[in-house]
Structure 1
Amino acid sequence: MKTRFRTATTVLATSLLAFAALPARAESVTLKLSHTYPDTHYLSVEGIKPFAEEVKKRTNGEVSIDIFPASQLGKGQSALIKSKLVDLAYIVPSLEAEKFPLSSVMELPTLFRSSCDGTQRLWTILQPGGVLDKQEYAPQGYRVLYIGMMAPYDVFTTSRKVVTPEDIRGLKLRGNGAAISKSLRSLGAVPVSLASSESYDAVSRGTIDGMYFPASGILPYSLETHLKHVLTGLHMGSAGAVMTISERSFKKLSPTAQKALTDIGVETQNRLCAWLDRHDAELHKRFVEEFKMEMITLTPEQSAAWTAKVQHVVTEWFNEMARVGKDGKSVVTAMGINPTH
């Protein structure tokens, strides 16, 4: 009898020890993510949604992400993180320029040649520990997970064909962002700041003569029927959006989940930039064949003539940053670009 009792006790003790040795399952958490784009926007379809899906998959359900598109929770994305209403936000720095002045480097002319070129260069300064992270994001309690950088914008016009810098003079063009507006003004154009959703009405009514806009943004806003000419091959800047997470929320995650979000972020931006560059090329072909637009592609020599007209915008940006106590030259240098080029 005693032998049986001892055997049963031994089995129970062994089972309890084995159970105690099992790693504790991390508590599941649901993070809130806000962004300004429609749910069907390509930055959502090709970037934000796959990012969230992969996080849930890679963490085996430990981390789920609820997405709130189209500014459902409010327009100021960084403020939503600050107020703890959300954990993650896809911030468009050009819409919050007062909080992210150095991030306007994304809009500068002559620095990038493609979406992936801009993405890789910007990631060196935006990733944790990078120059831009240390100066703008980390001090405000944000951690950057990835960047969605547009390919260089094209000039789309409704009636006037644009080939040389002189052709753009006097045209009213949708052009958002301080640096982009300066580039357009230096060419003699009139920049008009408009939300993308307002562009269709402005073009169709003749309020503006065209757009300085990404090729990938034309079809989502049904602009293809009103635009007749496309000038491509420019390197006058574009814009980007930054996926950020509250450092507070990030630190609450398990080390495994933290690594998953970090790794998936980099994978997302690499896949997204490749898609954007490929998609732009496909769209240029569609613009001509399907929508009968006239495509003008600048030669390197012609592009250089445009670049010469806007190069001073970079120097002026350095001076503006210096006046507010920011070192713009160090940001550009850290991207592997000669600030005097």
Structure 2
Amino acid sequence: MKSTIRAAALAAFGAAATLGAAGAPAEAANLRFAVGSPPNSLGDNAANYFAEKLNEFSGGEVTAKIYPLSLLNLMESNTGLRDGIADIATVLWPYFLAEYPETNLAAELAALSELVDGNKKQATLAYLGAVSEYVALHCPECREETLAQNQVFLAGLGTSAYILQCMKKVTTVEDMKGLRIRAGGAWWTRWANAMGATPVSMSINETFEGLSQGVLDCTASNPAELTQFGFIDAVEHITTGVPGSSFAFGMGQMNRDTWLSLSDDEKSQVLHAAAYLSGDGIMAYFDDGEENVGKLAPEQGIEIYEADPALVAKSKAWIEEDLASLGASYEERFEIKDAAAKTATLRKLIDEWLPRMEGVETRDQLAEVLWENVQSKIDVATYGQ
């Protein structure tokens, strides 16, 4: 069963790995990609597609060897990549808030997609395209903090919109009162509090047990996690439409020394393959989530609901308030300047990305849209200098 396969990936965003020995960057012909997630996970599959496309675009002159959960784990990825243990790695920005405040501001603005009317998938895809463009092309502060870690940004990734996966029926504002919800990040913690629920801080690896033992009433998670982490074998009810938002991160960041060792043509080939890294990983979240909610969960007798319009309206009203306070919080905590203007820039980019994402259904379609509008516009002669 797919849930059994995906259960093998439950460490994808938190498992430990043995740290490889430090060393100088590898030869450009064979790049070491430390994924930080297990074999056959979404991250591992996306990295292998990157390697396939890199081999194709370079005619075999530049290749990548994938190290799933064997070279660097996700807590080690930032310093390990900085120090040259790997040439490319997955860097979860929220794990390194002090190092990436500017980038994390953009990542926390994922809830902007919840304010877009119409197709939810298109809105979330538009945000994920917009945030990659923002980090790579419109946020010099983001690039500076990445360079400070001896890295360059290649490709972003993000999940589909979060839903409630519960042990009881939850659809209304009244249902939310006192509900114990596993919140996997600061945004979902704030949302749960604002909706009258009680957020519970719990590792994703402990969530299945928390649901099964009655410690949790719900987990706020993306739909793909129903099978990735086996929640489909615990929960009895699913509510779509809330809380929403997406977990965005750096799926591919590259050691700066390795980047500078490449020719301009090789850099372009890496960036082109990086667009496919994003395309594969993002669409896997959507494809798995759609299958989980539309087919696998109902087959197991799980009830599917849409959130009551009053709950959705309350959520959207809070999101607007939170967006304003979020910028002020980052300005106070990290001395970020002009957070409101940066929020406005990202909101404008989302509007520009909405028509680009219309009709995008496959990983290659998404990859080419990303390549055309993000990676191909990077000036390889100056990027990372």
Q: Which band: TM-score by shorter chain?
A: 0.7 to 0.9
Aligned-residue sequence identity (percent) comes to 17
Query: May I ask how many residue pairs the two structures share in their alignment?
Result: 311
The match for 2:265 is 256
The match for 1:63 is 62
Post-superposition offset of 1:302: 4.9
Question: 2:125 matched to 1:116?
Answer: yes
Q: What are the Cα deviations for residues 194-248 of structure 1, in whole angstroms up to 9, with x where unaligned?
A: 3322222222222222210010011121111210111112353220221111222
CA distance in 2 between counterparts of 1:337 and 1:307 reads: 18
Change in CA separation of 1:67 and 1:181 when aligned onto 2, cut-off 3 Å:
same
Contact 2:34 2:88 in 1 (8 A): yes
Contact 2:324 2:340 in 1 (8 A): no
Q: Which TM-score applies when normalising by structure 2?
A: 0.73
Question: Counterpart of 1:94 in structure 2: which amino acid?
Answer: P
CA distance in 1 between counterparts of 2:108 and 2:177 reads: 21
The match for 1:283 is 292
Post-superposition offset of 1:299: 6.6
CA distance in 1 between counterparts of 2:349 and 2:108 reads: 17
Unaligned runs of 5+ in 2: 1-26, 114-119, 351-385
CA distance in 2 between counterparts of 1:335 and 1:56 reads: 33
Q: State the Cα RMSD in Å.
A: 2.5
SS of equivalent residue, structure 1 residue 111: helix
The match for 1:3 is none
Q: 2:216 aligns with which of 196, 199, 208?
A: 208
The match for 1:336 is 347
Question: 2:50 matched to 1:51?
Answer: yes
Post-superposition offset of 1:295: 1.0
Q: 1:198 aligns with which of 199, 206, 209?
A: 206
Unaligned runs of 5+ in 1: 1-26
The match for 1:166 is 174
Contact 2:51 2:273 in 1 (8 A): no
Change in CA separation of 1:271 and 1:308 when aligned onto 2, cut-off 3 Å:
same
Q: Which TM-score applies when normalising by structure 1?
A: 0.82
The match for 2:35 is 35
Q: What are the Cα deviations for residues 107-160 of structure 1, in whole angstroms up to 9, with x where unaligned?
A: 3464124341221110221215535633532343322111111111001111x2
CA distance in 2 between counterparts of 1:337 and 1:192 reads: 34
Contact 1:108 1:313 in 2 (8 A): no
Contact 1:94 1:104 in 2 (8 A): no
Equivalent residue runs for 1:1-341 within 5 Å: 29-45=29-45, 47-70=46-69, 72-74=71-73, 75-102=75-102, 103-108=104-109, 110-112=111-113, 113-114=120-121, 115-128=124-137, 130-131=139-140, 133-134=142-143, 136-158=145-167, 160-234=168-242, 236-242=244-250, 243-298=252-307, 302-323=311-332, 324-327=334-337, 328-337=339-348
Post-superposition offset of 1:183: 1.5
Question: Counterpart of 1:106 in structure 2: which amino acid?
Answer: A
Change in CA separation of 1:300 and 1:108 when aligned onto 2, cut-off 3 Å:
farther
Post-superposition offset of 1:79: 0.9
CA distance in 1 between counterparts of 2:141 and 2:129 reads: 14
CA distance in 1 between counterparts of 2:346 and 2:154 reads: 18
CA distance in 1 between counterparts of 2:105 and 2:296 reads: 29
CA distance in 1 between counterparts of 2:322 and 2:243 reads: 13
